Structure 1
Amino acid sequence: MQIDVVLPCLDEAEALPWVLGRMPDGCRAIVVDNGSTDGSAEVAARHGALVVTESVPGFGAACHAGLTAATAPVVCFMDADASLDPRQLPYVAESVLDGTADLVLGRRRPVARGAWPAHARLGNRLLAWRLRHRTGAALHDLGPMRAARRTALLGLGLRDRRFGYPLEMVLRASEAGWRIGEVEVDYLPRVGRSKVTGTVLGTVRTVRDMWRAA
């Protein structure tokens, strides 16, 4: 298995040791530091990750910097906040690796109370409906853990550099005729407060960015 795992990172020093310590064999972690002030880059380097610095703020900017730094045939994306278990990456990437799917998203299944705030879940449902309406794909989640082939992803020419990046990826993949799948993954309470869905306002901003991308 040869997979590069892109982890956009903004002040996740507390979560990174757990995340990087559970990275499966054959998976190389690429931590993209997007302006952290808590020493995240140093922590990531000490735990064996390739550290990439992206000075342009934005989730999409960090994701794309990681994608361009990747060299493995298959690339996965996941959050760096310990809300997702890296040991489930092979399960998400399996269909891409064996050639039966082009893009696979991990459908989050909360396994503990507080893992997914109600306002964040509502926003996700709205965006998932938008995706189903636009693409016809039977998707129920935007899936922050996802897998696809690197060269194909680069070929999509994704432009969004904020929170619309994950949704744009699915839309462009659908337009290109990709086979898009979904598998369930565990969703855990994140370490620290979310910069995206930790507040109602953060969720609204994220939904706004993603809706514009659609």
Structure 2
Amino acid sequence: MSETTPFPTRVDVVLPCLDEAQALPWVLDRIPPGWRAIVVDNGSTDGSPDIARSLGAHVVQEPRRGFGAACHAGLTAATADVVCFCDCDASLDPRRLPDVAGPVLDGTADLVLGRRRPTTLGAWPLHARLANLELARLIRRRTGLRLHDLGPMRAARRAPLIDLALTDRRSGYPLQMLVRAADAGWRVRETDVPYHPRTGRSKVTGTWRGTWHAVRDMRAVLAERPAAAPVRVTSLPGAGR
């Protein structure tokens, strides 16, 4: 756990997993002490569930394929007041989770996203960056939130998340969470987190085709009608412009 943010409150960390046997030891070793790792296996064939169990993680099986299906299964399995989401491919360091969860734990934010800051040129492929820029533009137009990234590392309180009644079970899940949170008037913030080259190939953004399929899914989410007036996002101190 970060020495500067020693939160005693237990937090559940949802880790969607599909064939991440190589990355799991590194990821699970970095879960903050006292926080519980919930690895949601989405049909792995490389022994990921057994590895996760051997390393002390709580494993949930979600047979329905889809990033959103895995995330929501983890949210449903969570019992802690605060829930974090983090990719399970070693691209994001769970040791930074206290920085993301901090504003939620202290009550100054309702949803915090980790804005990815690539550590190397190869950490974030060009096609994925371009898609992210387009999504940021569409999010701003739809919600008024001036976000830089649809950060996959995020934190919020479990009960309000469930009350959002998220329905997307594919690539649009993180975006639907953001859109519905904005429509509900949540205080949304973002803070910088390092983004490393992932271990293995991305199941979503590893190719142009996969990336634009994800953008297509997310456009459908953005077409939802607002339920309330949008709110403006603010960056935490130290976040880039």
TM-score between the two structures when normalised by the length of structure 2: 0.88
Mark the runs of 5 or more structure 2 residues left unpaired by the alignment: 1-8, 223-241
Alignment-derived partner of residue 92 in structure 1: 100
Match of 1:106 in 2: 114
- The structural deviation recorded for 1:108 is 0.2
Aligned equivalents of 1:192 and 1:99: distance in 2? 37
SS of residue paired to 1:107: strand
2:55 aligns with 47
Which residue is equivalent to 1:156?
164
Tell me the distance in 1 between the aligned counterparts of 2:141 and 2:39: 33
**Aligned with 1:170 (options 156, 162, 178):** 178
How far the C-alpha of 1:138 sits from its partner, in A, is 2.1
- Structure with a larger share of its residues in helix: 1
Which residue identity does 1:200 align to in structure 2?
Answer: W
Distance 1:152 1:2 in 2: 17
Instruction: Give the deviation of 1:135 after TM superposition.
Output: 1.4
Q: Is the 8 A contact 2:136 2:146 kept in 1?
A: no
TM-score (norm 1): 0.99
2:90 corresponds in structure 1 to 82
Show structure 1 runs of 5+ residues with no match.
none
Q: How many residues align?
A: 214
CA distances 1:90-134 after superposition (whole Å, capped 9, x unpaired): 000000000000000000000122000000000011111111111
Q: Name 2:22's counterpart in structure 1.
A: 14
Q: Pick one of 128, 133, 149 that aligns with 1:125.
A: 133
1:198 corresponding residue in structure 2: 206
| Cα deviation, residue 12, structure 1 | 0.4
2-side partners of 1:21 and 1:53: how far apart?
21
Identity %: 69
The correspondence for 1:213, drawn from 213, 217, 221, is 221
